[in-house]
Structures are given as structure tokens and as C-alpha cells.
Amino acid sequence: MEAVRAARPGCVFKQRRNERHDRSIAGMLGAASLLTLAWSLPAAAQETAPRSPPPQTAQSYIENGDIIVTARKRQESILKVPVVVTAISNDTLESAQVTQVTDLPRLVPGLVIAGNLLSIGPQVTIRGVGTSSFDPGVDQSISLNIDGLSLGQGLAFGSGMFDVGQVEVLKGPQALFYGKSSPGGVISLRTADPTDEVEVIARGSYEFYAREWRGELIASGPVTETLKARFATTYSEGEGWFRNRAVATPLTGAITPPDRVPQPRNFIVRGTLLWNPTDTFSARFKINHSYDKTINSDLKQLASCPDGAGQSFSPVPGLFPNIPFIGGDDCKYDRNANQVFLDPAAFPGLPNGGTPYLQNKQNFGTLELNYDLSPALSLTSTTAYYKLVSSSSVNPTLTTAAGPTFAVTNNFRRREFTEELRLESDFSGPLNFTLGGFYEDGMLYDRVRFIQNRAYTIGAPLGFLPPGSIELDAATTVDIRTYSLFGQLRYKLSDQLELAGGVRWNDERVPNA
């Protein structure tokens, strides 16, 4: 397995962001808006008092001049939350052209989102705290919360985002309210809710260097006096910012790739219903479908070659000819990132015609019910469902001319059903509380295959590997059951000083891990 890596000890790979150019001039190079159309009947100013809980608006979460956050699963001013929070409004996200969760580090100090292979997905750290794992079944140390749905699997961080009302990045341990998958922090996304007036928005943009276009369509407004709806969808497609100039070496199981990578495609559709039949009850239902496919998503670049660029190596010096595993590469940190694709004739069973890829299909939704038991007591139920289906393949040793000794494919599925109940008090006195319970029923399936390159198998012109020496087909299924109880007491010593303490009990059962 390490025949190629061992042959190039003096070379260093640097990972590059596939879909965005991260240098300082990036913001000036692309995302030229072609069309912005907004129609409102009549003006969208909101004059009526909001019902309980206050409904979200499509633009921001500001009340009486204060930024409203939900760091403690309740709406309160960011100035009164005992948590380090970075809140990003809808206007800021749009002006900064943030279209993916992986774009957020540009706006949040201390947040780092790095890539990884196959279905492991992006690796996230906040202020240096994070998880580094090569197992997609290991949750991140940073939780991604989308409209009350908590996700810890890395691929969730790689999906696109749009029509978001506000992003909150909570720094530091958040286990009390967000559970065990948040020792480093939480990234909380609140997508936009239906508006009180009819609103139709269409947007289009084009990024010149990556040759990527993007379109959005949003329709929102009241259906009846008590029911409002919002429909939002987006599609983007591009050729890619990197130029792949690799030329395949014959008889090595490699094929010459297209000139541009990673050729991303993304489609998202979301529907939202907001029902307020009385002043004491409200229901919010959101359903989402997301599709992402990227060619050569694990692209990396040779950036340091002390022994010289474009070298060839012999797997057994003196007995076999040199093979240009990293041939034809100039070893410079630029837009040229060379990597050959794989010939399916040399890798039996390799999907997607030998082209390395990552494809994700995600379906998820939340149902939030809010009921005011009394003027001082409110009960909230959040029911959530999530399903991920991912498939991928990769050139694991990132060769630039000859084919690798083996290929890797991955099929990954994850399903989660969660239910959370919270009882919240808002007494006029100094003492208040939050009590809650959480249940999770989850499953993950992970299948990994190693496929040996037949061009290097004994009997082929360049054969040096025994048949089946690098072959693997392993699958794992894991069931997850989680039960949690949590609570917090808050005592207001003064208008500016609060004493709070909480505890969470968690029981997670993974019988067949």
C-alpha cells in the first residue's frame, strides 16, 4: 500500500480549497451579480407585534436594536448570553458571497474547516479544538445545528447553504444544550422563515476564474391569516478553479483528466411552513433536499520537492523500470494541480468510469412546536429527521503521471431521528429554569473497497505486485441509541448580573460498534 508514498519522501502535498481561491484577491475576482429581482406587496416593514415565539424574518434577527441569538435554546440578546458568540446576519452572508459552510472561516476568527478523504468530510476546529479522524463514523467535536437538527458527521459541513437568516458560531464547550458532539463549539444555522408580505426574489451570479454560475429563486408570503409559506431553491455548476495538466503514462492504469477541476454541482430545495393559529401556539415545519457532486474532490497539490520535481521511481531498484508516479509536475504552489484519473480496465469495479468523485444526497427536516402553557411557562418540541447517502472514489496516493498501486471507493449512509422537549420559564422573579429531554435513534453504514491496479500485478508489463496483495472489501453497520436529560437554573442577582448552573445526563448505546 505504501509503495508509492515510500518512493517520494522528499515531497510535500498542500491541500487547496477546491471551489474557492483563498488568496486575498479572491473577493475581487468573482461572484459578479447578474440579476437581482425583489418584489414585495406592499412594503415589507413589520408593524404587528410578533407572536410567541417571535417569528424569524428573512433578513435578520434584531429586536429593539439588539442582536437576538439562541445560544441557550432561547431567544435573548447577544449581550446577555454567557457564551462567546459570533453572529452573522443574512446581509453579511450575501455581501461576502458565503454559499457554503466551508466559507464561514472567512468571517469567523478561530474557525478552521479543512478537507479530508471520501465520506469523512471536512474537519472542523474552533480555537484549536477539533477532531482529526479517518473514520466517517466518528463525529466531529464541533456540532452543526440546522434549524434545531444537530449533525456531527463531517459531510454535513460540506453542503451548500443559502437563504439563511442568521449564523451563530458558539465557541467553547456547549454540551449542556447541544449534547456530547459539541466540546469545541457549535455552528448554528437558522434558515429564513416565511415573510408577512408576498416576496419573490431571483438571483444569479457568475465566478469568472472558476467559470461557475449560480442561480437562486425564493418565493415567500402568507397563504391564509394563520399560515405562511416559503419556497427556496438554488443550483450551481462550474468547471473549477484549478487547471489539471496531468498526462497519463501508458501501461500504468492511468487516464488523462480534463483540463479543469473540480467541476462542482450543487442543488438545494427547501420548503417552510409557519402556522400561528393562536397567540399561544405556533408550528414551524422545514424540509430540505441537497445534492452535491464534485469531480476529484480530494485534489491536493505538490508544493515542495527538495529532491527535484517530476521524478520517477522504481518499486524494486535494479529489477523494474522507473515509474513516473509524480512525473510531469512542476512542484509549485499555483493554479496547476496535477492528478491523473484511473482506467476502469485496470481497476475492476471502479465506479464513475474511473473519474475520482464525491456525491452526496441529503434529505432532512424539522418540526418545531411551541406552546405557551401560561404567560410564564412555554413548552417546545423539536422533531428532526436526517438521511445521508454518499458515494465516492479516490486516487489515494495522488499520483500525477502514472496510476497508483490501488484505488479506494467508499459507500456511506447515515440516518438519524431525534426528538427534544424543553420546558422554559419566564417568571417575573429572579429565579428561572430550563428542563429538557433528548432522544436519538440513528444508524450508519460504511463500506470501503481497495482495488489493486492490475497494471502493476505480476504478469502485466510493469507488474511487481502479487495478485490480491492490495485488495479489501469491508463494511460496517452501527446502530445508535441516545437518551439525555438536561436542566439549568438561572438566578438574576441584578439587571446586569446572572448566576446560572446546569447539568446534563447522557446515555448512548452502540451495541454493535
User: Rounded to an integer, what distance in angstroms lies between the CA atom of residue 151 and that of residue 97?
Assistant: 24
Q: Is the pLDDT of residue 35 over 50?
A: no
Domains held by the chain: number: 1
Do 153 and 140 touch, CB atoms closer than 8 A?
yes
Start-to-end CA span in the chain (Å): 26
- Average pLDDT along the chain: 82
Q: Is the pLDDT of residue 152 over 90?
A: no
Grid coordinates standing for 46? 413589520
Q: Is the pLDDT of residue 16 over 60?
A: no
Q: Is the pLDDT of residue 128 over 70?
A: yes
pLDDT (0 to 100) of residue 76: 80
The torsion defined by the Cα of 20, 25, 27 and 33, in degrees rounded to 10, comes to -100
Strands 265-278 and 227-238: antiparallel
- Whole-prediction pTM value? 0.82
Most confident of 26-35, 267-276, 488-497: 267-276
| DSSP code per residue over 43-55 | -----SPP-SSPP
pLDDT (0 to 100) of residue 19: 39
Cα 503 to chain centroid, rounded: 29
User: Rounded to an integer, what distance in angstroms lies between the CA atom of residue 152 and that of residue 143?
Assistant: 5
Q: What are phi and psi of 65, to 5 degrees?
A: 85, -5
Grade residue 389 by pLDDT with cuts at 50, 70 and 90.
very high
190-217 mean pLDDT: 93
Q: What DSSP designation does 195 have?
A: P
Contacts of 280 (CB under 8 A, 6+ apart): 52, 371, 372
pLDDT (0 to 100) of residue 41: 32
**Residues 34, 40, 42: CA angle, nearest 5 degrees:** 155
Three-class SS of 404-452: CCEEEEEEEEEEEEEEEEEEEECCCCCEEEEEEEEEEEEEEEEEEEEEE
Mean pLDDT is lowest, of 22-31, 87-96, 201-210, 483-492, for 22-31
Q: Domain range spanning residue 72?
A: 3-45+52-509
183-192 mean pLDDT: 88
| CATH number of residue 129's parent domain | 2.40.170.20
Q: Which helix (H) or strand (E) holds 27?
A: helix 26-29
User: Rounded to an integer, what distance in angstroms lies between the CA atom of residue 488 and that of residue 321?
Assistant: 69
* Side-chain half-sphere CA neighbours of 44 within 13 A: 15
Q: Is the pLDDT of residue 402 over 50?
A: yes
At residue 102, the 3 state secondary structure works out as helix
Grade residue 116 by pLDDT with cuts at 50, 70 and 90.
low
Do 506 and 484 touch, CB atoms closer than 8 A?
yes
User: Rounded to an integer, what distance in angstroms lies between the CA atom of residue 325 and that of residue 245?
Assistant: 15
Cis before 42 (ω within 30): yes
pLDDT (0 to 100) of residue 311: 78
pLDDT tens for each residue of 49-104:
333 344 444 344 665 567 888 888 888 888 778 888 888 888 888 888 888 888 88
Share of residues in the chain with pLDDT > 70 (%): 84
Cis before 315 (ω within 30): no
**Residues 207, 211, 215: CA angle, nearest 5 degrees:** 60
Mean pLDDT is lowest, of 168-177, 188-197, 230-239, 385-394, for 168-177
Three-class SS of 330-391: CCCCCCECCCCEECCCCCCCCCHHHCCEEEEEEEEEEEEEEEEEECCEEEEEEEEEEEEEEE
pLDDT (0 to 100) of residue 466: 93
Do 88 and 166 touch, CB atoms closer than 8 A?
yes
Using CA atoms, how far residue 169 sits from 101, 244, 276, in Å, is 11, 36, 29
Contacts of 47 (CB under 8 A, 6+ apart): none
Grade residue 360 by pLDDT with cuts at 50, 70 and 90.
very high
